Every structure is written in C-alpha cells, then in structure tokens.
Amino acid sequence: MAERVLLVGVTTPFQNHAVVDNHLVELKDLVLTLGYEVADRFIVNRKHISPALYIGKGKVQEIKRLISMLGIHEVVFDDDLSPTQLRNLEKALNIEIRDRSGIILEIFANHARTKEAKTQVELASLEYLLPRLTRRWTHLERQIGGIGVRSGAGETQIEVDRRLIRTRISKLKKELNKIDRERETQRKGRNSFFRVALVGYTNAGKSTIMNILTKSDVLIEDKLFATLDTTVRQWKIDKYHHVLLSDTVGFIRKLPPNLVASFRSTLQEARDADLILKVIDISNPNCTDHLDTVNEILIELGLFTIPSLTVFNKIDGMDTDLFSQVKRDHPDGIYISALKHLKIDDLRSAILGKLRSEELTLDITVPLANSKAIAILRDNSMIVEQQYLDGSVTFKCLCYRRVWNWLRQRLADEIDVLND
C-alpha cells in the first residue's frame, strides 16, 4: 500500500491562501512523483513563524487528530523547516516529517542514473542531512545508505555519523572537481559552434523540444525531474547553420541551494551558451510564477546576462484568457506546442534571427601552403565560397563573433582578412 501523506502549507502576511494553495498543488505533484498517496491538504494561517514548531501548538494538535483519523504515515511541509523545527514536530506528532527540500532531494536521488548525477545528488543530500542527523531514520538515509557505523570508545553514534558524512562530503567534492575538468575538455573541442541551451521549469517540455529539433530520443516523461543530466546534440537549422543544443535539469520553486550548487557542472553547458531558451509550460495556471522562478535561478547562477528567448510551450492545452494576459506581458515570447508540432517554425526563425545577429561574413585569404591555417578555418567557420588565385585561397565564410575573436588570435599572422 502506498504511503499516505498529509501536506501542510502556511499562509503569512506575505503569502495569501490562493498562493499557498497553488504551492500545495505543486507539492502534491512532487509527492506523487515519489509514488505516495496524498490523503489531504492542510493550510495554517500564521502571523509569525514559530522558531520551535513552525506552526502553533493548537494546529499541531489538529494535525495529530487528522493523522489518526486519516491513517497518515507522514507529514510534508511545503516550506523548509529548520533542523530544530523538524525535530520538535516529529516529537510532538510522533511521525516522520519532511519538508519540500527533503522531497526534492529524494526525487533527485531516485532519478539519478549517471555517475555525475549520482555524485551531485549524494553531495547535496549529505549536506542537507548533516544538521538533521538527530532525526529518526529518514528516507534520505535509506537512499544514501551505509553511513551508519558502530561508534568507537568515547564517541556517540551521532558523532561517528557526522564524522563519516564530513569525510564523504570532501571525497564527493573532489570527485565533482574531476568531473568538472573532464567536461571542460569536452567543451573546448566544441568551441566553433553557436550554443543554445534549453533551461526552464521542470516538466515544461524541454526534452520534448530537444527531441523534435534534433530528432533525438532523450527521455520524456510526465513527471517532475525526468532529466538530471545534460545532453548535447547537433541541430542543423539550415545548410549553413549548425548549432549545439543542450537539454538539462529543470528548475522548480525553492530548489534547495546546495542542490543548485552541486549541479553546477551539469548546468555549465548553459553557462557557456550563446543563447538560452527559457521554457515555460503555458498550460499551467502558475506559468508566470514559473518564469519568475527560472529568472531568479538564472540570476543566482550568474547566467541572467546571456541573451535569451522565452518559449511558452503547450499552447495546445492553455487557457485563452491566460494566453492573452501572458502575450500582453511577453510580446516577444515564442508560443509553441512541441507535442503537437505547432508553431515550431516560429522558434526556428527566432533562434536563427539571434544567431544571425552574432554572425560575421568574412573574406579571408590564406596561402595554399599553409594547410594548418586552412584546416583551422574549415573546422571553425562555415565556408560558403572559395576562390583559388596565385598560390592562395580566398574563403567567404560565416563565423560567430565569439569564435572569430578566438580565431583571430590563433591565426593572426597566417591569414589576410579583407573585411574584419
């Protein structure tokens, strides 16, 4: 039988009932992704957050009654609880308590497939667990496994566990540094391409867009955080324009900060992008909040200054009033349905427009004897025409500004440029 869960949200003077209710709908999706059953939702009104219990004692008693009445196995809070609040609530309710971060971390732990994703998730989970170790045995410990070891003389079990976790954390950080360096080498080999990165809210359709544009078969699922790794594919927009398109891990409101930090190397592809596509599900009534969250995370990652396009996906399932409102606020947005293949040409032309604004048409002359310079040019630009004359070849080529800055330094004395 699936575990029965009670969801708890808290309104404050800054968050009204409707907003909290929306957040609980999203929390429900997160909990369902883990295969649990949601027995009920419970909203508490508070003026101040209690440092000891988060909510008031009276509400704790009400929740206690609900637990026995509805046969609840676990209570999940939408807001992040401090280690003290978690401990006190568990004691008062005598049941396992989790918060949104704990749930997100468990989903990531379940979905991680590659060594990189597994290492990143384990690091973030251990950092989350460290201050909460005095709790009862948690799902997260079960996911990570094997941290409990018998204590030595004079050392309590908790002290042993903390020491082991710290050692493991530093080992994982070293492993991630190594993975970072490997990725760096891979990226250097792809310097000449225009790079487009799909980022956005989880379940918005990023992998679906990747698949239709590049004819790939990245995993698509109607669940949150199906993708945890970065996939890069070549996409031939037309005869002269080939770009590298990347699909990566999705964002969500209140993504735990240590998860964002440990996924830095996965998100590196977006860091190096010439263009970011922010993908938002317009069939979701909270789509504008989703866009705010995506922008906040991009700011946090230092990626907000990269040129971007906002892509509203799933127009096949949208509400027309919401559409008019969003379209008014985002007239430059691209509105598509990846699943139904609607308006994909709008997306293609918008990307092509951005790319052309970064493209130079150059006439470059190289002596025929300089085969090395000719090879570098061929590898890093798109040759449109070539003319041979007096032992030299003149290329008309298309080259991105960023790539050209790099090429010019490399080939400075070996080529003659007519129209730089």
Ligand X SMILES: Nc1nc2c(ncn2[C@@H]2O[C@H](COP(=O)(O)OP(=O)(O)OP(=O)(O)O)[C@@H](O)[C@H]2O)c(=O)[nH]1
Which residues of the chain form contacts with Mg ion (CB under 5 A)? 206-207, 226-227
Strand order in the sheet with 359-367: 382-389, 392-400, 359-367, 416-417
Q: Which of 9, 205, 256, 333 binds ligand X (CB under 6 A)?
A: 205
Report in angstroms how near the CB of residue 198 gets to ligand X at its nearest. Answer: 8
Q: Which of 204, 280, 376, 411 binds ligand X (CB under 6 A)?
A: 204
Q: Could you tell which of Mg ion, ligand X, none binds residue 221, using a CB distance below 5 to 8 A set by kind?
A: ligand X
Q: Could you identify the residue written with the tokens 């997160």?
A: 30
What are 103's two structure tokens? Answer: 């749930």
Q: Could you tell which of Mg ion, ligand X, none binds residue 333, using a CB distance below 5 to 8 A set by kind?
A: none
Strand partners, 118: none
Pick out residues in 157-186 that bind ligand X (CB under 6 A): none
Beta strands in 314-372, from DSSP E residues, in sequence order: 334-335, 359-367
Is 67 a binding residue for ligand X by CB under 6 A? The answer is no
Report in angstroms how near the CB of residue 118 gets to Mg ion at its nearest. Answer: 18
Is 262 a binding residue for ligand X by CB under 6 A? The answer is no
Question: How crowded is residue 401: how many other Cβ atoms within 10 Å of its Cβ?
Answer: 12
Torsions phi, psi for 236 (to 5 deg): -90, 100
Q: How far is the C-alpha of 126 from the C-alpha of 162, rounded, in Å?
A: 10
Report in angstroms how near the CB of residue 176 gets to ligand X at its nearest. Answer: 21
Pick out residues in 275-314 that bind ligand X (CB under 6 A): 313-314
Is 246 a binding residue for ligand X by CB under 6 A? The answer is no
Q: Count of alpha carbons within 13 Å of 184, Cβ hemisphere only?
A: 7
Torsions phi, psi for 54 (to 5 deg): 70, -50
Report in angstroms how near the CB of residue 227 gets to Mg ion at its nearest. Answer: 3
Report in angstroms how near the CB of residue 117 gets to Mg ion at its nearest. Answer: 13
Q: Could you tell which of Mg ion, ligand X, none binds residue 230, using a CB distance below 5 to 8 A set by kind?
A: none
Please report, for residues 172, 228, 252, 301, 412, the alpha-carbon distance to residue 260 in angstroms, rounded to integers and kept in the order given. 15, 12, 11, 8, 40
Q: Could you tell which of Mg ion, ligand X, none binds residue 225, using a CB distance below 5 to 8 A set by kind?
A: ligand X
What are 342's two structure tokens? Answer: 């609607």
Is 415 a binding residue for ligand X by CB under 6 A? The answer is no
Q: Could you identify the residue written with the tokens 């949104």?
A: 100
* Residue type at position 103: I
Q: Which of 62, 221, 292, 416 binds ligand X (CB under 6 A)?
A: 221
Q: Could you tell which of Mg ion, ligand X, none binds residue 339, using a CB distance below 5 to 8 A set by kind?
A: ligand X
Over the window 329 to 348, marking each residue x when it contacts ligand X by CB under 6 A and - when it does not, the resulting string is --------xxxx--------
Q: How far is the C-alpha of 77 from the C-alpha of 65, rounded, in Å?
A: 17
Name the segment binding ligand X (CB under 6 A); options: 162-170, 214-222, 230-238, 396-404: 214-222
Residue closest to ligand X, measured at CB: 250
Beta strands in 239-320, from DSSP E residues, in sequence order: 242-247, 275-281, 308-313
Give the footprint of ligand X on this chain (CB under 6 A). Answer: 202-208, 220-222, 224-227, 250, 313-314, 316-317, 337-340
